[in-house]
Structures are given as structure tokens and as C-alpha cells.
Structure 1
Amino acid sequence: MTFHTILPLEIVLDGIDDPKRMRRTVEIRTGGMLLEVEPVGDGCGRIVRLLDCPLDAYLDPALNPGNLIRMQP
């Protein structure tokens, strides 16, 4: 993969080896879709990305990355 940027390499790779900065995510299946979600507490999670879903799901504002959803146990 080629990555083109005007940023210095030190900024791009800053913290790449720091495990504390790595997000802890889980994959959940809801409504027939597979989502990568970052748990935030109280049974809620923040959507990181859609992994396996129909194409029209990308147009649903409720499934935008960063939105909170209820995580089923």
C-alpha cells in the first residue's frame, strides 16, 4: 500500500507502538449487519465502521461512524 501525505513521518507514526492509544473494538452483528464498535459503557458503543452490510446501509445516518448504538448482550 502506498500512503501519500504532506505530513512529516514522525507525526503520521506518532504513537503507533503505544498500546494505550489503540482502540479496543468488538465486532457485533445487529439487523443482519456486522459492525465494528468501540464500547463506551452502559451497553452502548460507538460505531467505528461497517464491516458487512448492504450498500444502502452506508446511506443511513443512524449508522454513521461516531454514532452511538445500543449493544445487544
Structure 2
Amino acid sequence: MTIYSTMPMEIVFEGISQQPGPYVDVQVGDVRLQIEAVSPGIGRIVRLMDGPLDAYLRPELSPGTLVAYGPSML
């Protein structure tokens, strides 16, 4: 792979060796989400794993959105 960039290589590859946080799979209604734990009971949506097609258009389920999760949501 070749990368053409005017930015310094240190900036382009910053954080490449860091592993992403622990992910949790959560079922919310008929949608299965992959969430990255931010703090206890709060997570950031990483991606939608499974669900109806219209779930991908719902803004509250877009990646990067913070959601509450816990035993009541599972």
C-alpha cells in the first residue's frame, strides 16, 4: 500500500499501534449494536451489526453517538 500525503508520517500513522477499546454487543429492540465502553453504563456506538434497513437511517443509532446501556437494555 502506498500513501501519498503532504502531512508528516508521524501524524498520518499516529495511534496505529494502539488497540481499540473493549467492545460490547448490545441488543436494542430489533437492532444489534457494537458499543465501545466509555464509562460504566455509557458507550459510544461503533457500528450496527444487524437490524432492519431503516435502522441505518435513524440518527440516534449513528456511529459515534453516546448511548446508555446495562442490564435493563440487554
- TM-score, normalising length from structure 2? 0.70
Runs (4+) of structure 1 moved beyond 3 Å?
A: none
Q: Which blocks of at least 5 consecutive residues in structure 1 are unaligned? A: none
RMSD (Å) for aligned C-alpha atoms? 2.3
Match of 1:22 among 11, 19, 23: 19
Tell me the CA shift for residue 72 of structure 1: 2.2
Tell me the CA shift for residue 7 of structure 1: 1.5
Structure that is richer in helix per residue: 1
Q: Which blocks of at least 5 consecutive residues in structure 2 are unaligned? A: none
Q: Deviations over 1:7-43 (max 9, x none)?
A: 26x856x73xx4xx22221111111211000011131
Structure 2 CA distance for aligned equivalents of residues 64 and 52 of structure 1: 13
User: What percentage of aligned pairs have identical amino acids?
Assistant: 40
Look up the match of 1:46.
44
Tell me the CA shift for residue 6 of structure 1: 5.4
The count of residues paired between Structure 1 and Structure 2 equals 63
- TM-score, normalising length from structure 1? 0.71
Larger CA Rg, structure 1 vs 2:
2
Structure 2 CA distance for aligned equivalents of residues 51 and 22 of structure 1: 20
